[in-house]
Copies of this chain bind each other. A is one copy, B any other.
Amino acid sequence: MGRWQPDARERLVAAALELFNERGYDETTVAQIAERAGLTKSTFFRHFPDKRDLLAAGQDTIAQLLREGIAAAPADATPLAVVCCGLKAAAAAFTSFNRELAPRLKAAIAASTELQERNALKQIGLSAAMAEALQTRGIPAPTAVLAAELGGVAFKTAYAQWAEPGEEQDLGAMACAALRELHAAAVDLG
């Protein structure tokens, strides 16, 4: 991957995260975000319904990739292997742009209850997408929900590691490794 070439959407996200960290989420306006990105307010609103939806940027894409990866897994794969296929498909959407912005994203979320809520909802939405796709494969609800929850925790854990400066491993491989570790830990819980 080369250095990212930001399009309007990415420039808006990058500008927003800068401003959130400089002056706080609540104090940042859409007009300021657009100005920092060198774009107009109407361009902002072509890409995002409002300020709080910036964080959910890409959520639909990721959910769709999770679903596709899960649907495409081999018929004889275990539920864990199926989730791994989903996580790898989703990980492919994470570019050097995401990696570069990750520390600012983390700081902005840590400083804003509203962004924490938005992020919580995003994570729940992604687990729900996985659970649904697993059920579509005929995996019954409790197992599907559980596998999806573990998938969600694994992805979150792997993302946090992947976003660390100097980390060079592949996000998908890290997510599947985290999933296997969680499974091993689950076996030992009782």
Contacts and interface: CB of A to CB of B under 8 A. Distances in A.
17 contacts: A79-B189, A120-B124, A142-B182, A142-B185, A143-B185, A143-B188, A146-B153, A146-B182, A149-B149, A149-B153, A150-B189, A183-B186, A183-B189, A183-B190, A186-B186, A186-B187, A187-B187
Q: Give the number of copies in the complex.
A: 2
Interface of A: 78-81, 116-118, 120-121, 123-124, 142-143, 145-147, 149-150, 153, 157, 180-183, 185-190
A170 B120 CA distance: 29
A145 B153 contact: yes
Nearest to A190: B80
A142 B180 CA distance: 12
Given A118-B117, A121-B116, A121-B120, A190 B146 contact: no
A185 B190 CA distance: 12
A65 to B, nearest CB: 21
A153 B151 CA distance: 14
A153 B152 CA distance: 13
Contacts of A78: 189-190
Contacts of A183: 186, 189-190
Nearest to A153: B149
A141 to B, nearest CB: 10
A177 to B, nearest CB: 12
A189 B117 contact: no
Contacts of A153: 145-146, 149
Nearest to A114: B117
A188 B157 CA distance: 22
